A = this chain, B = another copy of it.
């Protein structure tokens, strides 16, 4: 096997200098269209690929984007953030970036829990997906390298978020139109901005419809948003014997499934006795019994969008903070009686 072609080989074959080839490679400066095409042709012919480390050394840019997930989020059974990562990785290829995925604990503890790329200075930007301790955000902010959050927010930090307000709006509209007036909310981890936004909009929509939200209909004290939390939260709501809701809006699908599990155990029929709606459009909802009505979230696209934003941030070096919101749509399934009778 002959040696890997270098920029030198390309330049020689093109009868040009290294710098011209470099300019073409980086789409910088002015190169005549003719030369450019010639160089591009030879690059293809030689199957030349610039060596990341050489490039990194010369340009002081690593060509890597760090992607941080809390270990909790990463190993949770529903691949929610995993799908976001997938979208990022795919998009990164297009921009010739590598993604360095790493997981961390909720908050900073021992120094060996710190992603190596942070002190190696081996990333040009960092994306964090999901809720994470403030200590991490502060720590990374100090590094003075572009930072972007997905499905989380922090002051003065750019983020890509779900349009939770619109989602909750769709859910509530659908339920209200179906004639429901006693609508419950099953939530947990209420400090999480996504959960909070859904909850707030749930209340607003009730009020807008002239309905006073009843404390008894809601249960938002759970620490997390897992299936078990949904189960427990629903149990609490059903500990009251009167004025029970005829529909339940769960903060996410996992809780919705847990909710339905409790109802099933108690012999309460979904959707006949109570309609249930989730959020996130996770695969498990499709296999639930009955299949769970939910709000679809474009996970891959959020990840892709994040990378595109990050690439801009790296190039621009401007410090404009942007908060982007990605659209959602209602996915009707049996758990809420579809057209609601």
Contact = CB atoms under 8 A, between A and B. Distances in A.
Given A62-B53, A119-B47, A144-B1, A76 B79 contact: yes
A112 B93 CA distance: 9
A89 interface: yes
Contacts of A1: 144
Nearest to A56: B53
Contact of A101 (B53, B57, B89): B89
A319 interface: no
A336 to B, nearest CB: 22
Interface string A84-105: 0010010001001011111100
A62 B57 contact: no
Interface in A273-324: 282-284, 287
A55 B93 CA distance: 24
Contacts of A102: 89
Contacts of A136: none
Nearest to A83: B75
Copies of this chain, count: 2
A200 B164 CA distance: 50
Contacts of A284: 77
Interface size class on chain A is 35 or more
Given A75-B82, A144-B1, A100 B100 contact: yes
A238 interface: no
Interface string A155-175: 000000000000000000000
Contact of A99 (B78, B101, B287): B101
A86 B75 contact: yes
A47 B111 CA distance: 12
A58 to B, nearest CB: 9
A89 B282 CA distance: 26
B4 A121 contact: yes
A261 to B, nearest CB: 8
A49 interface: yes
A288 to B, nearest CB: 11
Contacts of A227: 287
A52 B82 contact: no
Interface in A41-78: 47, 49-57, 62, 71, 74-78
Interface of A: 1, 4, 47, 49-57, 62, 71, 74-79, 82-83, 86, 89, 93, 96, 98-103, 112, 116-117, 119-122, 144, 227-228, 282-284, 287
14 contacts: A49-B120, A52-B122, A53-B55, A53-B56, A79-B79, A79-B82, A89-B101, A89-B102, A96-B116, A98-B117, A99-B101, A100-B100, A101-B101, A228-B287
